[in-house]
Each structure stands twice: as structure tokens, then as C-alpha cells.
Structure 1
Amino acid sequence: MKKSVMIWLIALLCLLLTVGAIAGCAAPSGEGGSAGSGDGSDVGTGTGEGDSGSGSGSGGSGGEGPGGSHQHSYGAWSVVVEAGCLSEGEERGVCACGDVQTRPIEPKGHSYGAWSVQTEADCMTEGSRVRACACGDEQYEPIPIGEHSLGPEATCTEDQICTVCLTVMVPAAHQNVVVDVAVEPTCSSAGYTAGEHCKTCGEVLIPQEERERLPHTFNRKYCRGCGAAELDAESTGLIFTPNTDGTCTVTGYGSCNDLVLVIPTYSPEGELVTGIEKNAFLNGSFVGVAFPPSLETIGNYAFAQCRYLKHVYVRDLAAWCGVAIGVDSDMSASPFNYASELWLNDTHITELVIPETVTEIGCRAFASTDIVSVRIHAGVQKIGEYAFASCESLTDIQLDEGLTHLGDGFVFERCKTLKSVTVPGSVTDMGSSTFNFCSELSDVTLQEGIRIVSGFSNCKALSTITIPQSATAIGHGAFSHCAALSEVVVPDGVALIDAHAFNSCDALRRITLGASVTSVGEKAFWRCKALTDIVLPDGVTRIGEEAFSECSALANVTLGKGLRDIGAMAFDKTAITSVTLSDAIRSIGYSAFQSCEKLLTVVIPATNEELVLERDIFYNCTALEHVTLEAYVKEIPSRMFAQCKALTEIALPASVESVRGSAFNDCEALTKADMPGVTLIEVSAFSSCVALVSINMPEVTALGKSAFAGCKLLRSIILPEGLVEIGDGAFSGTNLQWMVIPRSVKTVGEDVFPLKQLSNVYYAGDAASWEAIEMRNGKRILTEMLNYYAQVQPTGEGQYWHYVDGVPTKW
């Protein structure tokens, strides 16, 4: 029993220990006292403070039972209160038993953003800047005093200052001082001492002082130092010949050996010197010549072969403008044929100003000089030919209003450095060749009033031109060989495009002709290789020879309703695709459309008057397929359609009486030829028309030599009654198997028929008339295959034939 009681007690004790342990883990911290107040009086009484975790209860104090102790496991901490910049936060851990433990979180401290400038610093005061924390706290910091703010750079007269404090940073000073080198005096110009100036502002810092020029050193009236002439000492020994009017002419230099010929105003006999004779100074060895103001004429070749001549001295520029130099285009009359320097007394002139008293500038007056500019005032009305030709240094020309005539040509020809010119409206006729070969001329202004525009041939830099509304004609060769000219509009007032006007303008791609144009001259647009289109107004009546010849890109051509005459080779070797003429057409010159290899169709309508055609008009138009010819034409000229290899049919109007030699030669696609009124077909007219199978020529009286030779597909032919003569080889090279020879035939040439292929000859006459035919060869062979015509079936022997439905048939 005791043993059982002991076992029970032990079990009870274990139970109590277990319950105590369970009760201690479940009690949350701070609630131990409540646990201790249970029914534990048998064991003991306990008290505890919740904060300390102690308490009374069965088996122990402070949450611990008498059976043993419990270890809390709080797991992960969780934030209950976030920490601030300066304040603590709190985090808590909870045990599975429900016990809770807390601990503080350290303050984060401030986290400031980017600085923001409140006040800019300058060269005089500090600035400040601030940055803020997310909590609202702000931090301030000073910005140190800064650098100076520089204004514009210092100049010769202005300081560079600080724009804030106005402190001078860089004082004003001359930044680019240039030394003006001393210049030694010469006989032609004064000298100067050395000096200085500021290149930037131009201020003279050390002025140069002028030094007196040196005297000339003359040797035989020539100063080798500068080229001046001793004009006060006239040459002696010259030969003078009296004139009938009391004046005299210089005819040679006689015994004079001066390097500069100073021609006097008066001869030793007191006669006024007015002329220089032809050949007067031929082969002269002098270097300069000075002319008197009394001079009026200089004869041809007066200065020919004067190879050393360099200087020309005039004492009166106005008088020199009136001197007549030579009588033809030969420059040998002019002293400037070799000389280039023009001197007015002792000054070498490069900037020429024509005196206001001058009304006319003579021929060759300043040709080939080294002038760089010329001013021609309003009083000058006329400039002679070649007046300024070959002035290769001339870059500036000023022509005032009032000038009316630019000579007969060549006034400014070959001024190779001239780039721009304005021609006043008072110039009604510009003259031919005025600016020819001015290779750098690119800017041309033609003012209103000009009527005849001309004179710009071979201006290769000229790309645009505006023709004034006042113009009535584009003159001969006006813009020929202007390689850069690309587009031209001809205004409505222009009636004439003269010969060669735009010849060889390689870049010309567009030309617009005004409604008033009536005539386009010879070679007006020859070899304009970029031109693709042209519309000829209805007022155009004439197109000259070769007007558009070799315009290789010209594909679209509109011919006006008033066009009457097309000159020879007018459109040859172009890319034209169709030709449609009006009923006004009266003549077409030879080779007008020759070798237009893209030409497809031709339409020539009916006309009231005869249309005169010349040879080779459509020769070698290899793509020509269709021709409509309805005009009143009497003949098809030689080779008119020769080598038109795509032409398949031809129908000639009844007015055509003759087809000339080789007219359709080598038309290899031609199958049919209808010639209702033709009486004469000349030599080789249809030779080598290898596809020809049908020929209608009811009125023909004569067939020329080789007329149809080589027409390989021609297997039969009915020659019409009325045919009298058949020329040599007319049908040689054909494949004729049968043919009808009319009774009217009188002569047959040599080798006319292909005897090997021919099997039947139908003769429209009888044996007697056959024997009467004059035939050079083959008559015996033909006789063997001959059939005589019999309208009614004959009863006798022999070979006879008649027509059955138009086909010759043997009886």
C-alpha cells in the first residue's frame, strides 16, 4: 500500500510539475502575479511584479513553477515606431508564449538634399546656399567671394573692366602695331620714312614723312628707271611729208635713234603734224612713242614688227580718242599691237576715265593696254570697233546712259578678266562680237531700251541672261559657245533669232520663244546638246539651215501652223520622235531630218501650193515606221527615205510624177509601194527593199537602172501599159518567177531580169512588136519562155495568155 501511495504521489508531483511549466510559459510578462494567486496554498504563496516577470503561482514565483524555468524565443523584430532624424524609434519581439520584449532604434540623423544658391557671390560680396532635410531641417553655408566678371576685351581705346565692380582689368592699348616700312624714293614716286600704325584701329602712331622723288635719268629720251619719256625734248631726224592742206605727215624715223620717239606737234618747217604714214615705223627698235595732240590718223602697218615697243605716251587724252587708227581689222596700225602701257604725259594710266569732252572713241584707241578699269561718261555716244579689245587686265567697265552705239564689233573682245557689265538702255544696237571671248564674264545686265541683243560669243562663264522686253532681235552669234548658259526666255517682242545665236551652247536645256518670233536663222541652235524640247510659235515661218542640227537630246519639237520653209539639215541628228507639219509648208531643204534615228512618224498634210522637197530629207531615219504624205508634191527627191529600215508602206499622192535616185534605197521592211501618178522611177529608187512584194505604178513610163534591184521577195510583177524604157538591172537580184511586159516597151537595158528564177514572161504584144524591142541581152532566153497576149483563145500553135480576174493565165 505504501508502495502504491508512493507511486501516486510521484505521479501527482510530475503532474504538478507539468502544469506549472505550462502555466509559466503561457503567462505573459507582467502578468505573473495573477498566475501566482492560484490555488497553491498547499505548496506556498507567491507574489510578483508584472514588469519584472515574477509572480506567484503553483510551483514557483515570477512565472516559474516549482517544476523548473522557461526560455523565451522572440523571433524577428518588428518596427513599432520609426526612428526620426533626432528621435528614437522602437521595435518589438514576441515569444510564442505571448511574452513581448521591446528595444529602442537609434535616431537616423539628418539627410540633406542638393545645395540651392540663395544669393550669388560676386567679386565684392559673399553669397549663400541652403540645403534641406526631409524632416524640414535646413542647413546654410556661405559662398566665398568670386572672381571678377570680365567685360569685352580691351581695345585700342577702351579698357576691359569688371562689369560688377568696374575695376579695370586690362587697360586700353594698341593691340596690333604695324611697322610701316620706309620706302625709298624713285623717279616715278616719292619715298617715305619708316612709321607705325595700329592695324586694328588705324591710328597712326609714328607718321611717315614724305621724301622727295628722284629726278629722271633719261637716255635717248627714255628713263629706264620708270619708263617715263622726256616729252619736253622732241625727237629730231624724223621724216615729214607735206600735205596739200598745209599740214604734214610723218613718213619715217629717218636718222632718229631715240628710244622714245617724241613726235613733235610741228615739223621743222612749221607744218602741223596730223598723220603717220602707212609703214612709217615698220620694224622699229624703239621702246616708246609719244604722240602730239594734233595727230588725226595712223596708217596701216605703221607700227608693224615693232617688237620692242612697250610704252605709248599721249599728251591729250581727248585728242587721242579721236585718232583714226588703220582702215581694216589689222592691229598692225596700232602702237598697242606690241605696247601695253598707256601713259598720260608722265603718268602710267591703269584706271582710265574718258574726258567729258569726248563724244566718240575711235577704233583700237585703247586695245591691248593694261588698264584695269574704264569709265565712259554719258557724253560718249559711239565706241569704235576693237577700242578696248584684248585688255586682259580690264575688270571694271562703267558705261553711262547716253551711249548709243557699240561699234561694228569687237569693242571689248577678249577682255579675259572682265566679270560683270551693265549695258545701258540707250544702246539700241549692241553690235556683233562686242564681248566675244570674255571668258570670265558671268554677270550681264541688259537694260530696257536695247533692241538688238548680241556680242557674247564664247563667254564661257555666262550661265544666265535676261533679254529685255524692248528687244526685237537676238543678233548673229549673240550667245554662241556660251558653254554654261542653261536657260533663256526670249520675250514676245523679239521677231528674229539670227544665225548662230545660240550655236554650241552645250548646257542649254530650255529655250522659250516669244509669240512674235518669225524666223530662226542658220545654226541658231546648232549642237545645243542638252536641249530636249522646243516649241516654235505659229508665227515662225522659216527655220534656217542647220538651225537645230546635232541637238542630240532634242526629242520633242512642236512646229507652228505658220511654218513655210525648213532649211537644209535643220533637224538632222536630233532625237525627234515625230514630225507633223501644217498645210502652210512650202519647202523642206536637203537632209532636214537626216539621221533622226528615233523618228517614228511623219505627217505632211495636203497643201494648196506645191511643196518643194530636196534630197536626203529623211535619209537614215532607221526607226521611221509610218509616213503620211498628202501634200501637193511633184517629185520624191533622191534618197529622201533611203535607209528608213522600219518603213513598211508608202503611199504617194497622185501629184507625184517622179521618184528620184535611191529615194527608197535599203528600206528593208518596205512591203508595199503605191505610186498612182508616178511616170519616172530613177536609178536604184527601190533597190535593196528586200521585203517589197507589192508595187502599184500604173502611169510609169521609165524605170531607171537598178530601180528594184535586190528586192528579194518580189516574185511577180505586172508592168503597166505605157512603160517605154526599162533600165539596166532594174529587177536584178529579185526572185521574179513571172512578169507582164507591156506592148509599149521600146528598150530594155542590160541584165534587167533574173533569168535563172524567171519561168514565164507574159508579153502584151505580138511577135513582131517583141522583135522590135531593143534589148541588150537575154532576149533569146526570154523568148523561150515568152507568152503572147490573146484576148480570145487562139486556134493556132504558140504560147498565149490572157487575164483571169486580173491574173495572167495561159490559154
Structure 2
Amino acid sequence: MKKKLLLLSIVLIPLLLNAAATDGTVIENLSEGTLLERVGGIESLNGIESLTISGRINGTDVLAIRGMHNLKAINLADASIVEGGQPYYKSYTTKNNELGDYMLYDLGLEQAILPRDLTLIGQFSLSKNQLSSIEIPEKVTRIGNNAFASNRLSAVTFPPSVTEMGSEAFSENAFVEFTFPPSLTELKSSVLKDNKQLLKVTIPGSITEFPSDICRGCTRLKQLILVDGAEDLFIFLLNHTFFQDYPLEYIYVGRNITESHSTFAHIFTLKKAEFGNITRIPSDLFFNCPKLAEFNLPGTLESIGTGAFESSAIEKIVIPESVTSIGGHAFAGSDLREVDIKGPVRELPEYTFGICEKLEKLTLPSTISKIGEKCFCYSEIQEFRCPDDLVEIGSEAFHGCDKLERVHFNDKLTHIGTRAFQKCSALKEVYLPESVTSIDSYSFSDCESLRVLSLPATLEEIEPSSIEESINIISLISHAVTPPTVTEDFDTRVTENCTLYVPDESYALYYLHQYWGKFRKIVKLSEYTGIDTVTRDSTPFTTGNGKIIIPEGNNKRFTIFNMQGQAIYDGIPTSEIECGNGLFIIKTPGSSHKVRL
């Protein structure tokens, strides 16, 4: 019996719903201006809750509809609006195939089906009703200001004909998601103003100008999708921090933004950003988004602007091969642990990765010729290998990198800037290449673990402050035949405790020099043994015929120096290393060895 009742319910419920949808007053083949007569006169208006009309409607008919104070549902699908008749609201009159300004304004409507032949929906035409959904007819091209404002809309269906949408057109509704139609070419301000339940907005690729206040007052907005488009997107900002008003967690940027002015800066809730086939990320786009931990960089990207991701929570970044330019501060102050730059970038400007206090692993392209001011300051890098084309290391580039133990210089480097390696407290030995001609002030100062500093024969000038406070230096090795220019005294704690090694033929020049001569101990290079850096433990290798022979299965890094302090090999060998004959210092993790081949 229960099964029979259930089956009967399944059959009857759709029939009842359909009957409810068509229930009410039905007027067919209406002639314009006759609606009041067809419904039984003015006394009948307040008794009409549902109205379906086919035929022609003018201003006089709309006036009658506006007098139906209990009207909840209206179906005008088969009706045509024509000009003529009385003004229906104040001085407003009807026009052909237009839902005119204020036409169905403030009627308490819960359902509305609009005429099929409608081409325009005017200002306030359906505002201040109780609509929960609406379907825009297929011929409509323009939706006016406030057209559907102050309803309960949560769903809207757009045809491909709509190209313009007015200010506050869908303001004060109940949308959770809203997707603007792809045919739209223009947006006005505050289109979705005060949709308090709105979580996601999608802007189509056809939009080229985006007033940022379209979602004003949408205090729950979490996702913003800027769909891929053929043209760049210009965002009009009311102020530089407009999007702070939204608790955005996800943003998709499908196109280049031509003007940012910190477009999405200071969004403290933003967690993820994705990019389409864009070519540039403008300056400060996501500046100070402290929860932004995930984003992709597409293979089409060519440039990253200044401060684009500064102070973000990203931990790992791979910059694609297509990128040729990175702006200063681009990732400064972020949570980066690992960076891999694959593109032919020529310069890392100031603070590019500055104050990335968790940065440990760094892979740079060989094309970089300049590392800018404070580029890696206060990072956790333990080892740095100079790119092949590097010419200049800027001021404070590695300042305060207290985990930095090893720097492998290339043979093109010419200049080391002020305080470049200051306070690198783990740095033990520095062997500068023959290409270096000048060392600025305080470049290796206050490096408390520094024991050996080797200066190249090409060095022309050195600031004594470059090793100030580095009072534990044991060996300062100068290969320059002519003593490099010095204009003031070295730190006396250095000159008292450090041995200065100089070319044999230049011993007298250094000894008699006004400033170099103040080193307490000056020794000829031919007497340098490097014994201070050599340990006595067992050797993890054998030697023979000018070669160092490596045992099978080796996984240790070997760094080999000649007696001029030049690194002739640095890597993880698997078989043997050709060195030639002579005296060499061989360093492996935890030990150092002096061998003669």
C-alpha cells in the first residue's frame, strides 16, 4: 500500500507544480490599451496574483499591471511591448520592444518571464522586487542602471547578445557566483554592489576595462577570475588598496594587466593565484599578500615587475625560460626556500630576493651579469656559485647571510660592492679570481669565521675597511706585484694577528708601504704552505702521475687550490682529477689535505 501511495505522489507532484505555474489570470491576444477591461475592471486588480499575457502591451496596460498590488508572478513571454498609451510611471512611456525605465519597479514580484522580442532592459525596470532567478531574452543588447537591483536573485541566464550592463544593474541581490556574459564589452561601476553572499566572480575576456568597484560591499568575495582575452585588461582603481575590502582567497589572471597600482596588494586572505598565457606581471601586483603561498608562472611570461610578490608566503619558485626581466623587490621578504631561474635573465636588481630569511637553495642562469644591492641579504644560503657571466656583485648583496660558508667565484667578476659579504659569519675562506680589480669598503667586514682571504694579481685598489672586524683572519694573500692602492690603515687587530703573503719580488714594496707595511708579519708567497688550513686525518683519495684518484662511489665535494690560492677544481668527482705537478690544497667536507704531485 505504501509503495502505491509513493508512486501516486511521484506522478501527481509534477502535475500539481505545473498547474501552479500556469494558475492565475491568463489574457490571450491582448490588444494594446485593453488590459484593464480584459481583467474585469479596476475592482479586479488587487485580486490578481499571477498574470500571463500574450498580445500587445502599451503604457496604459503597464499602468494597469502596476495597479495589481498583490501580483507575485508575471509571464510576458508571448507579449510585445509597443509605444503609445498613457505614461505608466511618472512621465515614463513605452517604446517598442523595450522594458522601459521603472516599468515593473517595486511590485513585489517573485517570478517574471520577459517578452521574447525584448531588445533593451531599462533603468530600475525590475528593481525592488523579490525575484530569485531571471532569464534575459535572446535579443537584449543592453541592461540599464539598477535594472535588477534590490531583488533576491541567485541565478541569471544571459544570451550572447548582451554587450552593455549599467551601474548597479545587479546590486543588492543574493548571488553566490556570478559570471558576466562573454559578449559583454563594457562594465559600469558597482554592478554587483552589496551582494553579501557573493563568493566568486568571473570577468570574461571580452572586457577590456574593469572598474574595480563592481563588487563594492561584497564582503564575502573569495574568488576573482579574470578570463583569458585577446586584449590587455585595464583596471580602474578607486584607491590603491581597494581589494583589501574583500576576503579574496583565489585569483585567476588570464591576461596582461596594463595598469596595476598595487591592484591586489595587501589582500591578507589571498592564498592562491594562477596565471593564463600572460607575458608580464606588473609592479606590486600581489605586494604584501602574506598568505599567498601558491601560484604558477606560465611559459609565456617575459617579465616580472618590481615588488610583484614581495612579502608573500611562497616557498618554492621556478621562473620559466621565457622570462628575461625580473624587477627589484620582486620576491623580497617572502618565505622562499628554493629558487630556480631558468630564463636568460641579465640582472637581478636591488632586493630581488632580499630578506628571504628561509632561502636555502638557489639556481641561477649563466647569463646574469649583475647582482644588485641587497639582492640576497639575510638569506639562509649556505653556498653560492657565481654565474658564468657575472661581472658585478652589488652593495650588501649577501649582507647578513650568516649561513653562507662557500662562495665560488667565476673568472669574469670585476667588482665587489660595499658591504657585499658583511656579517657572513660562517664564511671561512675567500679566493678571489684574477678578474677582480676593486673591492669596496666593508665588503668582507665582520666575518667572524673568515680565516683566509686571497687577493688576485689584478687587484688595483682595496678599502682597508673591507676586512674590518674580521679579526680571525690568519692568512691574507696578495698576488698583486704592485701593492693595491690603500688610503688608510687596516684594522689593527687584523694587522697584529694576520700573516700577509706577498709576491717574492714585491716583498720590499709591501714591507716599506705606508699601510701594507703595518702588518706585523709579512711573508713571501714562496714560503706559503697553507698549513693553517690543513688537517691530518686519513685521505679519501690516492695520487699518482699528476692525478688525484677518487675511490668508487664517492659522493663528497672536492675543492682543489694551487699555491696561488686559485681554485682549479670544484665538484663531486667520480673517477680521477687531472691536476699536473705541484703542491695543492685539497678540501673535502670536514677535512683539508696538502699533497705534492
The TM-score, its normalising length taken from structure 2, stands at: 0.58
Whole-Å separation in 2 of the counterparts to 1:662 and 1:652: 16
Find out whether 1:487 has 2:200 as its counterpart: yes
Asked whether the 8 Å contact 1:381–1:405 carries over to 2, the reply is yes
Change (3 A) 1:436 1:403: closer
Deviations 1:419-469 (A, max 9, x none): 6698766564557xx349967775674642212446339935442465465
Find out whether 1:694 has 2:434 as its counterpart: no
> Per residue, is there more helix in 1 or in 2?
2
Q: Which amino acid aligns with 1:484?
A: Q
Change (3 A) 1:780 1:711: closer
Tell me how far 1:567 sits from its aligned partner.
Answer: 1.8
Deviates more, 1:444-453 or 1:687-696: 444-453
Other-structure match for 2:95: 378
Whole-Å separation in 2 of the counterparts to 1:379 and 1:542: 41
Change (3 A) 1:399 1:377: farther
Find out whether 1:764 has 2:479 as its counterpart: yes
Change (3 A) 1:787 1:774: closer
Find out whether 1:571 has 2:286 as its counterpart: yes
Tell me how far 1:635 sits from its aligned partner.
Answer: 1.0
Q: 1:673 aligns with which of 363, 366, 384?
A: 384
Other-structure match for 2:460: 746
Other-structure match for 2:299: 583
Deviates more, 1:450-459 or 1:731-740: 450-459
Find out whether 1:659 has 2:371 as its counterpart: yes
Q: 1:718 aligns with which of 424, 431, 439?
A: 431
1:526-545 → structure 2 map (5 Å cutoff):
526-527=243-244, 530-534=247-251, 540-542=255-257, 545=260
Whole-Å separation in 2 of the counterparts to 1:651 and 1:518: 34
Other-structure match for 1:187: none
Whole-Å separation in 1 of the counterparts to 2:304 and 2:217: 24
Asked whether the 8 Å contact 2:172–2:193 carries over to 1, the reply is no
Asked whether the 8 Å contact 2:178–2:200 carries over to 1, the reply is no
Tell me how far 1:693 sits from its aligned partner.
Answer: 1.2
Other-structure match for 2:418: 705
Change (3 A) 1:440 1:550: farther
Tell me how far 1:628 sits from its aligned partner.
Answer: 0.8
Change (3 A) 1:442 1:567: same
Q: 2:311 aligns with which of 595, 618, 629?
A: 595
Other-structure match for 1:640: 352
Find out whether 1:800 has 2:524 as its counterpart: yes
Change (3 A) 1:378 1:779: same
Asked whether the 8 Å contact 1:728–1:749 carries over to 2, the reply is yes
Other-structure match for 2:221: 508
SS at match of 1:498: strand
Asked whether the 8 Å contact 2:347–2:372 carries over to 1, the reply is yes
Q: If you compute each CA radius of gyration, which structure gives the higher value, 1 or 2?
A: 1
Whole-Å separation in 2 of the counterparts to 1:564 and 1:475: 24
Whole-Å separation in 2 of the counterparts to 1:404 and 1:600: 51
Deviations 1:610-653 (A, max 9, x none): 6221121112212x111111111111121111221111132321
Asked whether the 8 Å contact 1:495–1:519 carries over to 2, the reply is no
Other-structure match for 1:155: none
Q: Which amino acid aligns with 2:377?
A: N
Please tell me the root mean square deviation across aligned C-alpha atoms, in Å: 4.9
Change (3 A) 1:793 1:570: closer
Whole-Å separation in 2 of the counterparts to 1:652 and 1:803: 35
Identity of aligned residues (%): 17
Deviates more, 1:683-692 or 1:729-738: 729-738
Tell me how far 1:710 sits from its aligned partner.
Answer: 1.7
1:67-466 → structure 2 map (5 Å cutoff):
356=83, 377-379=94-96, 428=141, 434-435=145-146, 442=153, 445=156, 447-448=158-159, 449-453=161-165, 455-456=167-168, 459-464=171-176, 466=178
Change (3 A) 1:620 1:476: farther
Change (3 A) 1:461 1:429: closer
Q: 2:327 aligns with which of 608, 611, 614?
A: 614
Tell me how far 1:662 sits from its aligned partner.
Answer: 1.5
Other-structure match for 1:292: none
Change (3 A) 1:715 1:511: same
Asked whether the 8 Å contact 2:180–2:202 carries over to 1, the reply is no
Change (3 A) 1:659 1:372: farther
Other-structure match for 1:181: none
Other-structure match for 2:30: none
Asked whether the 8 Å contact 1:372–1:394 carries over to 2, the reply is no
The TM-score, its normalising length taken from structure 1, stands at: 0.44
Whole-Å separation in 1 of the counterparts to 2:563 and 2:152: 78
Asked whether the 8 Å contact 1:523–1:549 carries over to 2, the reply is no
Whole-Å separation in 1 of the counterparts to 2:443 and 2:372: 14
Other-structure match for 1:195: none
Whole-Å separation in 2 of the counterparts to 1:654 and 1:616: 21
Find out whether 1:683 has 2:399 as its counterpart: no
Whole-Å separation in 2 of the counterparts to 1:600 and 1:738: 34
Whole-Å separation in 2 of the counterparts to 1:643 and 1:460: 44
Asked whether the 8 Å contact 1:378–1:403 carries over to 2, the reply is no
Find out whether 1:778 has 2:494 as its counterpart: no
Deviations 1:356-415 (A, max 9, x none): 479xx9xxxxxxxxx9889663349899xxx99xxx989899998666597xxxx669x9
Q: 2:341 aligns with which of 611, 623, 629?
A: 629
Whole-Å separation in 1 of the counterparts to 2:480 and 2:93: 91
Tell me how far 1:765 sits from its aligned partner.
Answer: 0.7
Asked whether the 8 Å contact 1:645–1:666 carries over to 2, the reply is yes
Tell me how far 1:496 sits from its aligned partner.
Answer: 4.8
Gaps of 5+ in 1: 1-200, 202-317, 319-353, 362-370
Q: Which amino acid aligns with 1:707?
A: A
Q: Which amino acid aligns with 2:381?
A: L
Whole-Å separation in 2 of the counterparts to 1:605 and 1:440: 47
Tell me how far 1:602 sits from its aligned partner.
Answer: 0.2
Which structure carries more relative contact order (alpha carbon 8 Å, separation 6+)?
2
Q: Which amino acid aligns with 2:523?
A: Q
Asked whether the 8 Å contact 1:581–1:605 carries over to 2, the reply is yes
Gaps of 5+ in 2: 1-46, 48-58, 60-80, 512-521, 531-559, 566-582, 584-597
Q: Which amino acid aligns with 1:600?
A: E
Other-structure match for 2:440: 727
Tell me how far 1:743 sits from its aligned partner.
Answer: 3.0
Asked whether the 8 Å contact 1:613–1:637 carries over to 2, the reply is yes
Q: Which amino acid aligns with 1:633?
A: V
